[in-house]
Structure 1
Amino acid sequence: MPNPFQDDFFADDLPPPSAGAAQSRAKAAESSTEPADAAASTQRQAKRSDVALTPNAAQHTLLAAQLPPQLRMGVSTWSYPGWEGLVWDGAYANSVLAKKGLGAYHQHPLLRTVCVDRTFWRPLTASQYAAFAAQVDADFRFVVKCPAGITDAQVRTEEGKPRESNPAFLDPRLAVEHFVEPTLEGLGDKLGVLVFQLSPLPWGLLSQPSRVLDRLGLLLAAVRQALLKHPQVIVAVEVRDPELLSPSLTQTLKTQGATYCLGLHGKMPPIEAQLPMLRALWPGPLVCRWNLNRIFGAYGYADAQKKHEPFSEIRSEDLHTRELLARTIAGITGAGQPAFVTISNDAEGCAPLSIALLAQAVTHLTQKSHAQKPNKS
């Protein structure tokens, strides 16, 4: 498939921020402004167990309508009370949002997907997935992570320290039986992406990447076989070792009909250094997980959480990543390919506001591209 945006698509050089960047930030920040009676509202709704979408979300309806239909954006996990006035209509406990917040979340005009991160720590059953699916409409799609018990080469302690080698690492049978089949049964047509995130590898495997890629190829082949009746489901592989970004990984993904998950995280190179993987796999979809702002380093989740809580505002703006990601989205969706982008609070401080700002950037680029196309009439 030819590349219709050769100059902008997977761009290597980022142009200076547009003059409207500050205005865009200001507009998105306005959506976090609480009403004058916020204190009374918080007290009144603190004990509520039903979750509703904030009326403020309606301001994004026009923006959402201007986005490419192939684009789905969402967050990584949705149970944050700090999103009051951004997503929620009032104050709710984490536990209430975890159980019932998805029904309100999916009504937000900009939120058409969500990454179910909790599956990385413990497999879910088909009935648990079905409970998620029952809270959203037919157009919504889920991004789901494979359990670490399959994608981590090491068994770890509760503190995350390696304890021993994992005999189930990249086991095709376990991946199908404990991950693919339950998600398909529970989510059905609402399953959008299966993500296999490989945890950092021990040196014994990292120094012999062919061993890892051979295992990965067998797993992906089994997964694709299990998805024969569901070709719309995207299979994506995310890595946390830069050493794995190689033609060998590209060939493994191509052979098995999978794609590379653009993992924006302190342990990986910046976005511009990962884009060659997508170029090598073109044409194909975009799967991106913007997890952690690079200013916090490879293991800076605790520091990011401390700075960003309660996750209600942009506190670590990353304009470089956002604008380059917007250009990548515009190019891929402009070529008719789907794009799934999920963002964590640890990216800039508040995932819903990051999504609003990214949506504005994508809309600006797509409108500019349409305006530059010659009029064939």
Structure 2
Amino acid sequence: MPERDPSQLDLFTGAPSPTPPRVRRRGHEAPIGPAEQPEEVRALGEQLPPGLFLGTSSWTFPGWEGKGLVYDRKATPARLSREGLAAYAQHPVLRTVGVDRTFYAPVSAATFAEYAAQVPAGFRFLVKAHEACTLARWPVHQRYGDLRGQLNERFLDAAYARDLVVAPFVEGLGEKAGPLVFQLPPQDPQDLGGVGPFVERLHAFFSALPRGPLYAVELRNESLLTEALAQALEEVGVCPVLAAWKNMPPVERQAVRMRALQAPALVVRWMLPPHLDYEEARRRYFPFDKLVEEDVRTREAVARASVAALRASKPVFVTLNNKAEGSAPLSAVLLARSVMLRIRNIGTVDS
């Protein structure tokens, strides 16, 4: 498979992009600004604890235009990928954002620095590590060319992760670096070498990475959520990601099983409702400008875990997908309200 220039990859699909993600405008086109927010949302943002980082899985959705959403005007995804981040970061509640581009190919420290320059000091980025680190076998997909179906020699290769993933992440983002998430897609446990050997290999992988960054691991195979894995992650100080996703247990069960509140931080990715797959949710919820189906159970479970972590003086990072309830920014506001209600009524919080 020919090597591609990471700076020319689309932010979310990995497809070639005509321009790198720099802030640039054509002619006299007015810059994208933040949407007007209701007074109660502005007040809510001012009340949130400094260790609570709520955000969305990305920032390039044209449907987020209008009062109470994110942007003050319509714009294409391409333009939002170049210019939208600064406006996104002015939302009163949104203090983090997911960077998925890095899952498809590593990016340079300079690219990370461009992102960091567009957001305030208290903002943090949740970055996904390159999939070469987390795929035991390359998927049978046209995108992988001649590597399709082959075992991946870079799987859990600490040297590769250190040089091409961790180093630019640390250098480019600096203090604005949040969790670096190693997401393992669903895969055949046999390709992983079996549950026991996989846990040992994962422990060795994180033990070999540089100390300092906040590492997190997200698993999409329920069979891997074992006591041995929880212990291994605890030993190396790595956060288990609570993944709200169709084929995984509810987040409250994941939190208990993986000892999430013992980790250095609470990391949650709320992606899908329990009854829908990705494509069905996308069709039902597009263009992501309103809440369609509220998932109160998941919201309250995330709020309980968040408050428990905050009470233990641990930072909380939660990213929400449009496919969770219909509109990620609106979901973030409702989650923030739930967290604040529990903080005010602290006697009812499950610790």
The correspondence of residues 30-179 of structure 1 with structure 2, limited to 5 A, is 48=29, 50-56=31-37, 59-85=40-66, 86-158=69-141, 163-179=149-165
- SS state at 1:55 partner: coil
Asked if residue 189 in structure 1 is aligned to residue 175 in structure 2, the reply is yes
Question: In the alignment, residue 212 of structure 1 is paired with which amino acid?
Answer: F
2-side partners of 1:269 and 1:206: how far apart? Answer: 21
- SS state at 1:204 partner: coil
2-side partners of 1:181 and 1:283: how far apart? Answer: 23
Question: In the alignment, residue 334 of structure 1 is paired with which amino acid?
Answer: R
Q: TM-score, normalised by structure 1?
A: 0.80
2-side partners of 1:248 and 1:281: how far apart? Answer: 16
Structure 2 match to 1:288: 268
Q: Shift in Å at residue 370 of structure 1?
A: 6.6
- Structure 2 unaligned blocks of 5 or more: 1-27
Structure 1 match to 2:7: none
Which residue among 335, 338, 341 is the counterpart of 1:364? 341
2-side partners of 1:242 and 1:169: how far apart? Answer: 20
1-side partners of 2:287 and 2:187: how far apart? Answer: 33
Question: In the alignment, residue 152 of structure 2 is paired with which amino acid?
Answer: N
Asked if residue 310 in structure 1 is aligned to residue 293 in structure 2, the reply is no
Which residue among 304, 307, 316 is the counterpart of 1:327? 304
Residue deviations 1:301-353, cap 9 Å, x none? 11111111100011121111001111111111122111000001011110000
* Inter-CA distance 328–280: structure 2 relative to 1 (3 Å threshold): closer
Question: In the alignment, residue 108 of structure 1 is paired with which amino acid?
Answer: H
Q: Shift in Å at residue 206 of structure 1?
A: 5.4
Contact (CA 8 Å) 2:34, 2:90: kept in 1 or not? yes
Q: Shift in Å at residue 294 of structure 1?
A: 1.5
Contact (CA 8 Å) 1:259, 1:281: kept in 2 or not? no
1-side partners of 2:75 and 2:343: how far apart? Answer: 37
- SS state at 2:269 partner: strand
1-side partners of 2:140 and 2:333: how far apart? Answer: 38
- SS state at 2:254 partner: helix
1-side partners of 2:51 and 2:84: how far apart? Answer: 25
* Inter-CA distance 138–318: structure 2 relative to 1 (3 Å threshold): same
Residue deviations 1:12-49, cap 9 Å, x none? xxxxxxxxxxxxxxxxxxxxxxxxxxxxxxxxxxx946
1-side partners of 2:263 and 2:188: how far apart? Answer: 32
Structure 2 match to 1:32: none
Structure 1 vs Structure 2: percent identity of aligned residues?
Answer: 39
Question: In the alignment, residue 263 of structure 1 is paired with which amino acid?
Answer: A
1-side partners of 2:261 and 2:336: how far apart? Answer: 25
- SS state at 1:293 partner: coil
1-side partners of 2:78 and 2:175: how far apart? Answer: 27
- SS state at 1:176 partner: helix
Which residue among 220, 227, 247 is the counterpart of 1:267? 247
Q: Which has the higher contact order (CA 8 A, sep 6+)?
A: 1
Contact (CA 8 Å) 2:234, 2:263: kept in 1 or not? no
2-side partners of 1:318 and 1:371: how far apart? Answer: 21
- SS state at 1:163 partner: coil
Displacement over 4 Å in runs of 4+: 159-162
1-side partners of 2:247 and 2:105: how far apart? Answer: 23
Range that drifts further, 278-287 or 98-107 = 278-287
Which residue among 182, 185, 200 is the counterpart of 1:199? 185
Equivalences, count: 317
Which residue among 208, 220, 243 is the counterpart of 1:240? 220
- SS state at 1:72 partner: strand
Contact (CA 8 Å) 1:154, 1:166: kept in 2 or not? yes
Question: In the alignment, residue 100 of structure 2 is paired with which amino acid?
Answer: D
2-side partners of 1:57 and 1:127: how far apart? Answer: 36
Structure 2 match to 1:252: 232
Which residue among 222, 244, 250 is the counterpart of 2:208? 222
Question: In the alignment, residue 293 of structure 2 is paired with which amino acid?
Answer: S
Structure 2 match to 1:14: none
Rg larger for: 1
Structure 2 match to 1:33: none
- Structure 1 unaligned blocks of 5 or more: 1-46, 373-377
Question: In the alignment, residue 106 of structure 1 is paired with which amino acid?
Answer: A
Give the superposed CA RMSD.
2.0
Residue deviations 1:152-188, cap 9 Å, x none? 1111243689612111111100111110001111111
Q: TM-score, normalised by structure 2?
A: 0.85
- SS state at 1:82 partner: coil
2-side partners of 1:354 and 1:327: how far apart? Answer: 16
Question: In the alignment, residue 186 of structure 2 is paired with which amino acid?
Answer: P
Q: Shift in Å at residue 114 of structure 1?
A: 0.7
Contact (CA 8 Å) 2:282, 2:323: kept in 1 or not? yes
The answer to which structure has the higher helix fraction is 1
1-side partners of 2:103 and 2:38: how far apart? Answer: 30
2-side partners of 1:160 and 1:124: how far apart? Answer: 18
Contact (CA 8 Å) 1:264, 1:291: kept in 2 or not? yes
